[in-house]
Amino acid sequence: MSSSSTTTTTTRLLMLKASDGVTFEVEEAVATKLGAINNMVEEEGSEDLICLPNVNGKFLGMVLEWCKKHANNNTNSDKGNDEVNKWWDKEFVMDLDQNTLYHLLMAADYLSGTELVDLLTEKVASMIRGKKVEEIRETFKIKSDFLPGQEEEIRKKNSWAFE
């Protein structure tokens, strides 16, 4: 996208190939925000083309978008930027539908993007907080598969949490 590349001349570019063949050309500093890629790059004689058969192009694109934002802002680490990053993150997760959220989480987890996993799990947690069990089930379409009476038994065990 339009983000200007850093002025350093020695920027290494990596090609990331998603499961559906879509490739992304990204700066090393951006891609190494992801622990898995960082490990691959640090290996000696690593190639510039990295295949990621477990991640779909759409979600890889979003993950990399997040990486780009956070890699850029790492270089000048003042407090104002921290705030901007927080806002950006908040908007990044604001309107995610559950399908996207799920795939992003899977991708971020697979690529060991720890900070991104934190951001997304916090988003999911915020969808759970303060809700009753029935509401959580409704939100995430979770079906209870307990045997009759089993649920009641578990409820009883920690009854204070369900009152």
- Binding interface with other proteins (CB under 8 A): 1, 19-20, 22, 53-59, 61-62, 65, 83-84, 87-88, 90-92, 97-99, 101-103, 105-107, 109, 117-118, 121-122, 124-125, 128-133, 136-137, 140-146, 151, 154-155, 157-158, 160-163
Q: Which residues contact 23 (CB under 8 A, 6 or more apart)?
A: 15, 16, 17
The nearer residue to other proteins, 21 or 45, going by C-beta atoms, is 21
| Minimum separation from the CB atom of position 84 to other proteins (A) | 8
Q: In what order do the strands lie in the sheet with 23-27?
A: 23-27, 13-17, 49-51
User: Which tokens sit at 51?
Assistant: 């295949």
Are the C-beta atoms of residues 16 and 38 closer than 8 Å to each other?
A: no
The nearer residue to other proteins, 42 or 97, going by C-beta atoms, is 97
The nearer residue to other proteins, 44 or 145, going by C-beta atoms, is 145
Are the C-beta atoms of residues 104 and 64 closer than 8 Å to each other?
A: no
